[in-house]
Structure 1
Amino acid sequence: MGLRPVRPNNQWVCAGCALRARWVRAACALGARWVRAACALGARWVRAGCALGARCVRAACALGARWVRAAGRLPFRGRALRCHFRHRLQHHLGCTAVGASSISANVNNIPVLNGTNFKKWKEHVIIVLGCMDLDFALREDRPSDLTSASTAEQRSTMEKWERSNRMSLMIMKHSIPEAIRGAIPEETQAKAFLDQIAN
């Protein structure tokens, strides 16, 4: 004789199945939400990564194009171009003052003008100004005054000349004693100032 299940037990079984079913559905729904959220987040990261990558690629291409255009304007190619840049780098490292201490050292290498050492003094002045790339005003006459029709190149040349002239006068006067400097007529152009000292 088999045992028959009691009704309350059936109710508990049904209740348990229903509860488990709810938990399963809730878990599935929660899982689906997490999956959708993860997919959406992943898509955002992918799009952001692609956008960032595209920007980097465009920036790299633009930079590369600038270097290519700059190299294309030079009268050098291949090995000659590398030799040219190496020579310029060696010249830059050998002559250009990198910091304030280097500038001070270069200026202090100029001997003090005493009236009997003009030739030596002038040689040191020209070397120091040349190494500091400030001898433009000594090599070139003052450009014509700028006008509203002046080109960008003319404005750049004038700016370069004025800076060279101003710095050259300061460096030369720094190595001239006050007694000698007072006997020299005031001059606003470095080239004329050097000629007056020579005379």
Structure 2
Amino acid sequence: MGCCYSSETETTEQDRDERKPLIPHPNPDSKTINGTERNPANLPSTRTDEQALLTSILTKTALNIIDVSAADSQGMEQHEYMDKARQYSTKLAVLSNTLSQKKPAPLPSLTSQPHQVLASDLVSYSDMQQVSKIAAYAYSAISQIKLPAVHIRWSCNNRQETRLQNQLALYRISLKT
């Protein structure tokens, strides 16, 4: 439940826990008498059962939550941040220059030069088969990906949020280099 590409026939321990009621049905002994009174003999055990159930729910919830505000444990000074940003921007400038030099010539436009497109060689049958195989393999691989549901709690102030966004942007730039 809650995952992409999941089937309804699978039953796991998590599914059983999800379908279990959070608060159990009250015992017939602890029902109200005359509509106003409870049986005092079962009242303490009911409270401890409810407390244990509440504790287990809170524990399960705490295990499934990722606290993003805790990721801010190692902060950067302003000058360190500026140095890293300068380094990343120079790396990005160098890479963008090399990419523009390696860029192949664009394909001829169909509307401006149709005779060149029609006169070019046909795509070979083996190339078509290879592209079809690769597409089928990619489709098969993508269809087998299963992601579990993750609950994220986002609680931070504007300064922390800006810092996290800056760190994420720097991380993305570093992945490109």
Question: Quick check: TM above 0.5?
Answer: no
Normalization by structure 2: what TM-score?
Answer: 0.23
TM-score (ref. length: structure 1): 0.21
Of structures 1 and 2, the larger Rg is shown by: 1
